[in-house]
Amino acid sequence: MSDSSIPAYADTRKIFQQEDIISGNLGLDRLPRFRKTLANEQGLVSLELKFMFGEAKERLIVGGLQAQVNVFCQRCLKPLAIALADDINLALVRDEEAAEQLDAKLDPWICEDHKLDLAELIEEQLILCTPIVSYHESGECIAQKDYVAGEDATESVASESPFAVLRSLKVSNTSD
């Protein structure tokens, strides 16, 4: 994939001074924590970050991200394609103490040394902007469609659970 344009680290001693702009794509393999929340490896994350100093010399990171990924539908538990988009408005600080002194309208991003991990920053923003639960459109769930079309393969696995339910019902009946 063409993610070579996004370096692993940015040097915070230079990027704000130079007003650098970093943009390009990131593969999901570079976002392992975000990847764990997804249904599969298919997806694309693109981003643009601008680095600059604010009025009070804060080190600002502004930009945006867009992503096309597959999460699990919480109704049928099958992959569901979603699009994510979010603005990025962060201020780089050295520690928690500096974070607390920031203007309330700025979100802090803590980086203790001069190596800013770009994938980690993007990963956190992606996780924050991903909906907690997602569903296919009404009637679009994959299990429902399979059922209507009479296709199964996955059906046989699913059919084990109704028997388990029956069994547990019997147990509770006899205990009455």
CB of 144 to Zn ion, least distance (A): 8
Q: How far is the CB of 75 from Zn ion (least distance, A)?
A: 4
The least distance separating Zn ion from the CB of residue 136, rounded to whole angstroms, comes to 3
Residue 87, φ and ψ in degrees, nearest 5: -85, 150
Measured from the CB atom, the residue of 15 and 73 that comes closer to Zn ion is 73
Q: Is 79 helix (H, G, I), strand (E, B) or coil?
A: strand
Query: Under rule CB under 5 A, which residues in 139-168 are in contact with Zn ion?
Result: 141
Site string for Zn ion, 37-76 (x = CB under 5 A): ------------------------------------x-xx
- State the binding string over 98-137 for Zn ion (x if CB under 5 A, else -): --------------------------------------x-
Tokens of 107: 């979100």
* Side-by-side strand order, sheet with 21-26: 21-26, 43-53, 59-72, 79-93, 107-110
Rounded Cα distance, 176 and 166, in Å: 16
Identify the burial level of 54 via C-beta atoms within 10 angstroms of its C-beta, where 0-12 means exposed, 13-18 middle and 19 or more buried: middle
Using CB under 5 A, count the residues that bind Zn ion. Answer: 5
Smallest gap from Cβ 78 to Zn ion, in A, equals: 6
Pick the closer one to Zn ion by CB: 75 or 94. Answer: 75
Of the candidates 19, 12, 21, 17, the one whose C-alpha atom is nearest the C-alpha of residue 92 is 12
- The residue sitting closest to Zn ion, measured at its beta carbon, is 73
Ranges within 74-103 binding Zn ion (CB under 5 A): 75-76
Whole-Å CA distances, 47 to 10, 38, 63, 64, 115: 15, 19, 8, 6, 19
Contacting positions for Zn ion (CB under 5 A): 73, 75-76, 136, 141
